[in-house]
Structure 1
Amino acid sequence: MLVTGASSGIGLAVVSLLRTAGHDVVLASRSAEALERAVAVSAGEGATLPVVADVSSAAEVRDLVDRAAAWAAGRGRALTGVVHCPAVLAYGRVEDVPDEVLDRALAVSLGGTVNVARTALRHWSGRGEVGSLVVVGSLLGEVTVPGMGGYATAKWGVHGLVRTLQQENRGRAARARVSLVVPGGVDTPVYEQAGTYLGRHGSAPPPVVSPHRVARAAVRCLERPRRRVSVGPANALTRLGFLLVPPVYDLLVGPLARAFALGRRADDGPGNVLAPVPEKERLRG
């Protein structure tokens, strides 16, 4: 199995569950230091191969998949599943987030998903195999929140990509079984790691679920693929409000986001968007 974004949050929880089940796991992340720590804290019998890779680079993703497949083959196995988790974000009005920060966030969160998905599909297609691809999306791929425009743009793109892949991989044309996991607020460090141009850190919007709950949904999709799995008790209601009563949603979402999705005061800056911050990578927020 290959897990991208494996050194923190949901990805790290996926690694732990897979290893506990006895699977060998290739862990990919931008930071060697964070990967080393992830291998140490994830328990289980499955062997691990940490690989430093930036998913926004198509070349690095090709090398990652090649290494993962070769390592699996050397252990008498095959690369049968990929769980894609990485995302970076910067809080702020769209026009206030610096160009390089917004461009980089889109390159990682959306471009990285494209790179991983098409490389995995090409790998399985070239071998006449059908693998399992699980993509971790977000409730913000189905609704929007002011101050998170870059993240919503990326996640709406991710959801559109996954739906297209599901359409293209039907019947005899299938190269993969493609699943989308849609979490709401999750207790991970992604909000603290994020860049901000609002003068405040982000925080997980309630109701908050554990990273292991999302990871369990992702691992189940590897075994029994599903088109879409929502993880979060308020997801359905939030989505319904966004679709059915947009004026009311738009009136309420700003004040609610300021009250519940922003934390303590912080200096403006890019967070981990431009480069990893290994000391902030961990399972929970």
Structure 2
Amino acid sequence: MTAETTANDVEAALAVPTTPGGGQVVLVIGASSGIGRASAIEFARRGASLVLVSRSATTLADAAADCRAAGAAAVECVPADVLDPAQVQAAVDRATGTFGRLDVVVHAATVMAYGRIEDVQPEVFERVVDTAVLGTFNVFRATLPVLRAQRRGHVVVVSSLLASITAPTMGAYVTAKWGQLGLIRTLQQELRELPDVHVSAVAPGGTTTPIYDQAATVLGNTGHPPPPVYTPERVARAVADRVANPRRLKQSGFLNPVIIAGFRLFPPVFDALVGPLLRVFGMSRDTVPPTTGNVFAPVPGKESTRGDYWGI
């Protein structure tokens, strides 16, 4: 099945639900680590049948074991990169071919880089932005024909507080998340004629995931989540709850609205404070050489549900 498949062809392919136990069929992209893995486990606890997608086949198998232990009705694994449209389409085809339909899509795949705009390697900047923007486009392009043919379904994209504010030395990630949110909001407008097809975004603040240790950096040190720090399980519950309660953009962090208000209403004050506060509360005191982290390839040894930080 391709993105150009006609609605009638898709409807025929989805005619007979085959989900074990009748639970939701959930496709989780970015399922091997962090919020994506926590979301997969959360849906597993709710009895879903899962198709897990990430670049790392090794840690994807570990995530699948976690989901089975949590109570998933069934688990399929599809190693794929969101920047490869054919691989994304293959994951969607696995879901519909195996389970007969697709109820929920969780898109949590992302990469991050630290460095001033003029210091970040152009290819690193491009890859961070492409993973969020082009990767999300590829996910939408592969899943929307199925959801339109079904005339129902949910897409939940893990966004970020940094889709609504900016921060120095995080220009690549900020650009990626602002662009991704623009794509999400446009799609929400385009789907207004389908009241049972929903696209939601969940925007966490600092979350104790391994992304900070896996990020590219030219700063000479790594980052860590700024307080207040949340657990990926807490964010995953917000992701899963969007199925029953869709939202255009759900801030997952009680200080997020305050920070956003400061950015919008008092920009001179925000600009004066954000850099020093980020250096004190969002940067580690370690020393590392310049690295591209997991921007171009996964680092399986650093993938897990949680990072090395305490969260609430």
**Fold shared by both chains (TM-score > 0.5):** yes
The DSSP-based 3-state class of the residue aligned with 1:202 is coil
Within the alignment, does 1:108 sit opposite 2:108 as a pair? no
Within the alignment, does 1:62 sit opposite 2:89 as a pair? yes
- CA deviations over 1:98-122 (Å, ceiling 9, x no partner): 1221111112122111111222112
Q: Which residue is equivalent to 2:190?
A: 168
Unaligned runs of 5+ in 1: none
Give the alignment of 1:106-255 within 5 angstroms: 106-125=129-148, 127-170=149-192, 172-173=193-194, 176-255=197-276
Give the alignment of 1:265-276 within 5 angstroms: 265-276=287-298
Q: Which of structure 1's runs of 4+ aligned residues deviate more than 6 A? A: none
Q: CA deviation at 1:151?
A: 0.2
Within the alignment, does 1:39 sit opposite 2:69 as a pair? no
Could you tell me the TM-score, scaled by structure 1's length?
A: 0.95
Q: Answer whether contact 2:29 2:106 (CA < 8 A) is retained.
A: yes
Please identify the structure whose Cα radius of gyration is greater: 2
- CA deviations over 1:165-215 (Å, ceiling 9, x no partner): 111111x34572011101000010001110101111010011001101110
Tell me, in whole angstroms, the C-alpha distance in 2 between the residues paired with 1:25 and 1:10: 15
The DSSP-based 3-state class of the residue aligned with 1:186 is coil
Q: State the AA in 2 paired with 1:186.
A: T
Q: CA deviation at 1:129?
A: 2.4
Tell me, in whole angstroms, the C-alpha distance in 2 between the residues paired with 1:216 and 1:247: 35
Unaligned runs of 5+ in 2: 1-25, 308-312
Within the alignment, does 1:48 sit opposite 2:46 as a pair? no
Alignment coverage as a number of residue pairs: 279
Q: How big is the alpha-carbon RMSD for the aligned residues of Structure 1 and Structure 2?
A: 1.2
Q: State the AA in 2 paired with 1:226.
A: R
1:257 to 257, 278, 282: 278
Q: Which residue is equivalent to 2:102?
A: 79
1:16 to 13, 38, 41: 41
The DSSP-based 3-state class of the residue aligned with 1:59 is helix
Q: Answer whether contact 1:26 1:68 (CA < 8 A) is retained.
A: yes
* The 10-residue stretch of structure 1 (116-125 or 84-93) with the greater mean CA deviation from structure 2: 116-125
Q: Which residue is equivalent to 1:4?
A: 29
- CA deviations over 1:214-243 (Å, ceiling 9, x no partner): 100110112321222111121011101100
The answer to which structure has the higher strand fraction is: 1
Could you tell me the TM-score, scaled by structure 2's length?
A: 0.87
